[in-house]
Amino acid sequence: MMRVILALAATTTTALVAPSLRSARSPTRVRSIAENVAQTQETSRDKVMTFSYDTERERAYEKPTYKGTGDGMGGGDAGDEYDVVVIGSGMGGLACGAMCAKYGEKSIVLESHIKMGGSAHSFTKVHNKEKYSFEVGPSIFEGLDKPSLNPLRILLDVLDSELPVETYQGLAYWVPTSNFDGAGPVKYWRFQLGDVEAPGGFYESLREHASDGELAIKEFEALRNRLKTLGGSTTAVCLFNLRQDPGFLATTAGSLPYVATHPDVFADLPLTFDSLHKTVDQLVTEPFLRNFIDTMCIFCGFPAKGAMTAHMLYILERFFEPGCSYSVPKGGTENIARALHRGGAQFGMDISLNTHVAEILVEGGRACGVRLKSGKVIRARKAVVSNATPFDTVKMLPAQDALDPEMPGFAALQDWRQTLGTLPRHGAILHLFVAVDAEKVVDGKKLADHASWRAAEDETAKNPAHLIVQDWSRSMQDSQNLCSFFIPSLLDRSVCPEGKHVIHVYSSGGEPYEPWEQLEPGSEAYEAYKEERANILWEALENCIPDARERAEFHIVGSPLAHEAFLRRDRGTYGMAWAAGTSAPYAGLLKFTPIPFPFPNLKTPVDGLLRCGDSCFPGIGTPSAAASGVIAANTIVNVETHIAMLEETAKKDPMYKFLSPGPFQWLYRGLVSPLTPSKELRGSGVFQPSSGGRVSAAAEAASR
What pLDDT digit, counting tens, does each position of 184-236 carry?
Answer: 678 899 999 999 999 999 999 999 999 999 999 999 999 999 988 777 766 77
Of the candidates 391, 327, 353, the one whose C-alpha atom is nearest the C-alpha of residue 118 is: 353
What is the DSSP code string of 544-565?
T-TTHHHHEEEEEEE-HHHHHH
Using alpha carbons, list the distances in angstroms from residue 352 to 71, 84, 120: 13, 14, 17
The structure's pTM equals 0.89
What is the DSSP code string of 45-65?
TTPPP-B---GGGGTTPPPP-
Beta 107-110 vs 81-87: how paired, if at all?
Answer: parallel
Looking at residue 66, its pLDDT comes to: 65
Phi/psi for 241 (5° steps) reads -80, -10
How far is the C-alpha of 69 from the C-alpha of 36, rounded, in Å?
28
Q: Flag whether 670 is in a domain.
A: no
Using alpha carbons, list the distances in angstroms from residue 579 to 48, 277, 583, 646: 8, 11, 9, 32
Count of Cβ atoms closer than 10 Å to residue 300 Cβ: 23
Cross-strand bridge partners of residue 379: 81, 369
How far is the C-alpha of 72 from the C-alpha of 425, rounded, in Å?
26
Q: With b meaning 16 or more CB within 10 Å and e meaning fewer, what string describes 101-121?
A: bbbbbbbbbbbbbebbbbbbb
Q: Flag whether 130 is in a domain.
A: no
How far is the C-alpha of 615 from the C-alpha of 578, rounded, in Å?
9
Looking at residue 40, its pLDDT comes to: 85
Average pLDDT over residues 26-55: 72
Of the candidates 111, 74, 114, the one whose C-alpha atom is nearest the C-alpha of residue 93 is: 111
Assign 700 a pLDDT band (cuts: 50, 70, 90).
very low
Cross-strand bridge partners of residue 135: 122
Q: Flag whether 32 is in a domain.
A: yes
Q: To 10 degrees, what angle do helices 91-102 and 622-636 make?
A: 40
- Exposed/middle/buried for 454, CB within 10 Å: 0-12, 13-18, 19+? exposed
Q: Flag whether 68 is in a domain.
A: no
Looking at residue 132, its pLDDT comes to: 96
CB 379 within 8 A of CB 78: no
Please check the confidence at residue 3 and state whether its pLDDT lies above 50.
Answer: no
Residue type, 432: L
Please check the confidence at residue 67 and state whether its pLDDT lies above 80.
Answer: no
Of the candidates 65, 64, 58, 66, the one whose C-alpha atom is nearest the C-alpha of residue 25 is: 58
Average pLDDT over residues 572-592: 79
How far is the C-alpha of 596 from the C-alpha of 578, rounded, in Å?
11
How far is the C-alpha of 45 from the C-alpha of 51, rounded, in Å?
17
How far is CA 587 from its chain centroid?
Answer: 19
Average pLDDT over residues 338-356: 97
Count of Cβ atoms closer than 10 Å to residue 376 Cβ: 16
Q: Flag whether 255 is in a domain.
A: no
CB 454 within 8 A of CB 511: no
Assign 418 a pLDDT band (cuts: 50, 70, 90).
confident
How far is CA 79 from its chain centroid?
Answer: 30
Using alpha carbons, list the distances in angstroms from residue 315 to 81, 209, 221, 604: 43, 21, 14, 32
CB 284 within 8 A of CB 219: yes
State which residues form the domain around 33: 2-14+25-42
Cross-strand bridge partners of residue 469: 482
Looking at residue 570, its pLDDT comes to: 81
Looking at residue 184, its pLDDT comes to: 67
Q: How many residues does the chain have?
A: 704
Q: Is the peptide bond before 594 cis (omega within 30 degrees of 0)?
A: no
Of the candidates 676, 701, 704, 680, the one whose C-alpha atom is nearest the C-alpha of residue 249 is: 676
H-only helix segments in 422-498: 451-457
For a pLDDT cut of 90, what percent of the chain falls above it?
57
Q: Flag whether 444 is in a domain.
A: no
DSSP H or E segment with residue 372: strand 366-372
How far is the C-alpha of 354 from the C-alpha of 89, rounded, in Å?
11
**How many domains does the structure of the chain reveal?**
1
CB 104 within 8 A of CB 384: no
- Exposed/middle/buried for 62, CB within 10 Å: 0-12, 13-18, 19+? exposed
Assign 54 a pLDDT band (cuts: 50, 70, 90).
low
Q: Flag whether 447 is in a domain.
A: no
DSSP letter at 371? E
Residues 480-539: tens digit of each pLDDT: 999 999 999 999 999 999 999 999 999 998 999 889 988 998 999 999 999 999 999 999
Please check the confidence at residue 237 and state whether its pLDDT lies above 60.
Answer: yes
Cross-strand bridge partners of residue 570: none
Assign 29 a pLDDT band (cuts: 50, 70, 90).
very low
CB 428 within 8 A of CB 567: no
How far is the C-alpha of 532 from the C-alpha of 547, rounded, in Å?
18
Assign 314 a pLDDT band (cuts: 50, 70, 90).
confident
Looking at residue 2, its pLDDT comes to: 30
Looking at residue 591, its pLDDT comes to: 64
SS3 per residue for 289-347: HHHHHHHHHHHHCCCCCCCEHHHHHHHHHHCCCCCCCEEEECCCCHHHHHHHHHHHHCC
Q: Flag whether 10 is in a domain.
A: yes
How far is CA 110 from its chain centroid?
Answer: 19
How far is the C-alpha of 232 from the C-alpha of 212, rounded, in Å?
29
Using alpha carbons, list the distances in angstroms from residue 49 to 36, 428, 512, 579: 9, 12, 11, 10
How far is the C-alpha of 49 from the C-alpha of 389, rounded, in Å?
19
SS3 176: strand
Q: To 10 degrees, what angle do helices 287-297 and 202-209 make?
A: 130
